[in-house]
Homo-oligomer: A and B are copies of this chain.
Amino acid sequence: MAASFALLDDLRTLLGADALLTEGPDLEKYEKGWRYGQGRALAVVRPGTTAEVSKVMAFCHAHGVKVVAQGANTGLVGASNPDASGAMLVLSLERLNKRLEVDATDRTALVDGGVLLSQLNAALEADGLFYPIDLGADPSIGGMVVTNTGGTRLLKYGDVRRNLLGVELVLADGTVVNALNRLRKNNTGLDLGALMAGTFGSLAVVTGAVVQVVPRPKQQAVAMVAAQDGEAVLALLRALESQLGDVLSAFEVISANAFSPVFTHHPSLRNPYGNAAPAAFTALVELSSTLPAEALALGDLLEGSLGAFLESDAGEGILDVFMGKAEDLWAIRHHVSESLRHEGKVLAFDLSVPRSRMAAFREEVARFLAAEYPFIRPCDFGHWGDGGTHLNLVWKESEAAKSTVELIAELQPRIYALCVEGFIGSYSAEHGVGPHNQASYDRFTPEPVKALARALKAHLDPKGILGTVKLG
CA distance A233 to B439 in the complex (A): 54
- CB neighbours of A471 from chain B (8 A): 189-190
Q: How far is the CA of A108 from the CA of B356 in the complex (A)?
A: 10
A357 (CB) vs chain B CBs: closest residue: B106
A279 interfacial contact with B, CB 8 Å: no
Task: Kindly report which residue of chain B lies nearest to residue A454, judged by CB atoms.
Answer: B459
Q: Which residues of the partner chain B approach A274 to less than 8 Å between Cβ atoms? A: none
Question: A159-B185, A187-B432 in contact; A179/B449 too (CB < 8 A)?
Answer: yes
A428 contacts which of B187, B292, B304 (Cβ < 8 Å)? Answer: B187
Give the chain B neighbours of A179 by CB distance below 8 A: 446, 449
Chain B residues lying within 8 Å of A241, measured Cβ to Cβ, are: 107, 215, 290
Q: Is the CB of A243 within 8 A of B291?
A: yes
Interface residues of A in 301-329 (CB under 8 A from B): 301, 304
Nearest chain B CB to A174 CB, angstrom units: 12
How many copies of this protein are present in the complex? 2
Interface size class of A (residues with CB under 8 A): 35 or more
A161 at the interface (CB under 8 A from B): yes
| Known contacts A185-B430, A186-B428, A189-B198, then 18 further A-B pairs from the complex at CB < 8 Å, ordered by chain A residue | A103-B354, A148-B187, A154-B185, A155-B184, A161-B194, A178-B446, A182-B424, A183-B429, A184-B386, A185-B388, A186-B352, A188-B433, A188-B445, A190-B452, A190-B456, A194-B195, A452-B460, A456-B456
Identify the A interface with B (CB < 8 A): 103-108, 128, 147-148, 150, 154-155, 158-159, 161-162, 171, 175, 177-179, 182-192, 194-195, 197-200, 214-215, 218, 234, 237-238, 241-247, 289-292, 295-296, 301, 304, 352-356, 383, 386-388, 424-433, 440-441, 444-446, 448-449, 451-453, 455-456, 458-460, 471
